[in-house]
Amino acid sequence: MELGVNGRFLYSSGTLFLAFSSKALPLLLFPALSLIAIGGILLLLTNIQVGNLFGTHRSTIITLYNGAFDSSSAVFLVIKVLYEQGISLQSSFLFLSACGIIHLLRTLFLLPKSHIPYPLPESYTYGVSCHKSKSYNLEEFEGKQEIDFTTDRKKQDQSRDSEPQKPDDAPPKVESLSKDSSFKSCVVSWFFLWHLVWLSVMQLRHYLFIGTLNPMLNRLANQDPATVSRYTNAFAFTQLTGIFCAPWNGLLMDRHKRKGLKPGENEKKADLRASILSLFLTSMQCLLFSICSTIPFLPLQYVTFVLQVLNRSFLYGGNAAFISIAFPIQHFGKLYGLIMSLSAVVSLLQYPCLALVKAFGGDPFY
C-alpha cells in the first residue's frame, strides 16, 4: 500500500510540475518527467500483483496491465488534440493531478496492505468488504507455510536417513528457486542473468529503432516533409495499440491452465514450460521486426511499425509474467525493479550506436 501511495504522490507531483512549467521556468520539465517516470513504474508494480487474484488468467491480467502502461502515451496524444482545440496545457495537467484522488482512494480501500499471495488461499479477502473476524492475515499464512515447509523438509530428511541408500540411486533433485529462496540467490541464478540479457538486447534494439526512425524516414522519403509526417503519425498511432496486443502473450502463457497437469509436474513447472513458447515468439518477432526495418522500401515500414509495437508489448508483458512465474512472489517487486534498472543501464549503449549511425550518413543498416 505504501508503494502505491508513494507512486501516486510522485506522479501527481510530476503532472503539477508540468502544469506550472513555462518558457520562464523550463527547468521544471526535468524533475517533472523524472517524477512521472518513477511514479508510473511504482503504480505499475502495485497493480501487477492484482493478477494473482485471477488464478487461471494470471498471466493474461499481468500482460494486460503492462499493455495499458505501454499505451499510456495516448494520454499525451489526447492532451495534444485538446490543446489544438483551445484547452491550455496547464488545465489538462491540473486535471490529471486531480484524477490522482481516484487512484489514491483505490489504493487505500481496495488494495491490501501487503502483497497479494499466490496461489490464493480459500479464505483470502481484500478491500472495503473485509472485516476483522473474516479478514485474512498474510503474516500468519506465510508463517504457517514456512512451518509446513520446514516440517515437510524434516520428514523427508528423516525418511531419507532411515532408508539405506543404494549405490545406483541418484541424488535427489532439488528446485533451485523454491519458495524459501533468498533475494540474493534469485539474483545470481542463471534464470535471472539470462533473462536480463534477453530483455536488455531486445530493449536496446527498440531504442535504436526509435532513435533512428526520423533519419531513416527522411532518407527513404527523399526528404519529403509530408511523407515523413504521414509515416510518423502512423508510427505514433500504432504505439497506442499495445494494450490490445499484450494480452495475447498472457493467453499463450495461461493456455496450459485449462488442461490438467502432466504426471509428476507441479503448477510452477507447468507455468515455466508454458512460458517457453512466449519467449520464443517474442524473440522471433524481434528478428522479423529488425529484418523489415533494414529493408529500404518505404511502404514496408508500415509492417515494421506493427511488428515493433507487437514485439514491445510481448517483451514487457512477458518480462513481468516470467518474473512472477520463475521466482518467489515475495521478491517480485525487487527483482522487477532490479532487472528494469540493469536493462536501462545497458540501454545507454544506444548513444555510441547512434553516433556510429550518424557517422554512416544516417543509415542504420550497419
Q: How far apart are CA 98 and CA 5, in angstroms?
A: 15
Tell me, yes or no, whether 4 and 114 share the same domain. yes
Tell me, yes or no, whether 82 and 219 share the same domain. no
Domain C-terminal end among 120, 144, 163: 120
pTM for the predicted model, two decimal places = 0.74
Alpha-carbon separation of residue 139 from 47, 194, 274 (angstroms): 21, 33, 31
Domain hosting residue 223, numbered range: 182-366
Tell me, yes or no, whether 247 and 340 share the same domain. yes
List the pLDDT tens digit at each of the 366 positions of the chain.
566 677 788 888 888 998 898 888 888 888 988 888 888 888 888 888 888 788 778 888 888 888 888 888 778 878 888 888 889 988 999 998 888 888 888 777 777 777 777 777 777 776 655 444 344 444 454 555 444 444 554 555 555 455 554 444 444 443 445 556 788 898 999 889 999 999 999 999 999 998 889 888 988 888 898 899 899 888 888 888 888 888 888 888 877 666 666 676 677 777 788 788 889 999 999 999 999 998 989 999 999 999 999 999 999 988 988 998 888 888 888 898 899 899 989 999 998 888 887 777 766 666
Tell me, yes or no, whether 116 and 186 share the same domain. no
Domain C-terminal end among 102, 120, 138: 120
Neighbours of 301 (CB within 10 A): 22
Residue 143 lies in a domain: no
Residue 282 lies in a domain: yes
Tell me, yes or no, whether 247 and 329 share the same domain. yes
Residue 217 lies in a domain: yes
Alpha-carbon separation of residue 195 from 37, 151, 192, 340 (angstroms): 23, 33, 5, 11
212 and 219 in contact (C-beta within 8 Å)? no
46, three cell numbers: 502495485
Tell me, yes or no, whether 208 and 344 share the same domain. yes
Domain C-terminal end among 91, 120, 149: 120
166, three cell numbers: 543404494
337-339-344-350 Cα dihedral, nearest 10 degrees = -160
Count Cβ neighbours within 10 Å for each residue of 179-202 and write b for 16 or more, e otherwise: eebeeebbbebeebeebbebbbeb
Residue 30 lies in a domain: yes
**Count of structural domains, the chain:** 2
CATH number for the domain harbouring residue 225: 1.20.1250
DSSP annotation string for 304-354? HHHHHHHHHHHHHHHHHHHHHHHS-GGGHHHHHHHHHHHHHHHGGGHHHHH
Residue 145 lies in a domain: no
Residue 325 lies in a domain: yes
Tell me, yes or no, whether 232 and 364 share the same domain. yes
Tell me, yes or no, whether 104 and 246 share the same domain. no
Tell me, yes or no, whether 72 and 190 share the same domain. no
Tell me, yes or no, whether 208 and 300 share the same domain. yes
Of 149, 203, 176, 148, which Cα lies nearest the Cα of 272? 176
Neighbours of 60 (CB within 10 A): 23
Question: What is the per-residue pLDDT across 256-302, written as a single tens digit (0 to 9) for each?
Answer: 666 666 676 677 777 788 788 889 999 999 999 999 998 989 999 99
Q: How far apart are CA 188 and CA 66, in angstroms?
A: 26
Residue 162 lies in a domain: no
Tell me, yes or no, whether 331 and 187 share the same domain. yes
36 and 11 in contact (C-beta within 8 Å)? yes
Residue 167 lies in a domain: no
Q: Which residues contact 250 (CB under 8 A, 6 or more apart)?
A: 57, 59, 60, 61, 62, 63, 64, 317, 321
Tell me, yes or no, whether 83 and 218 share the same domain. no
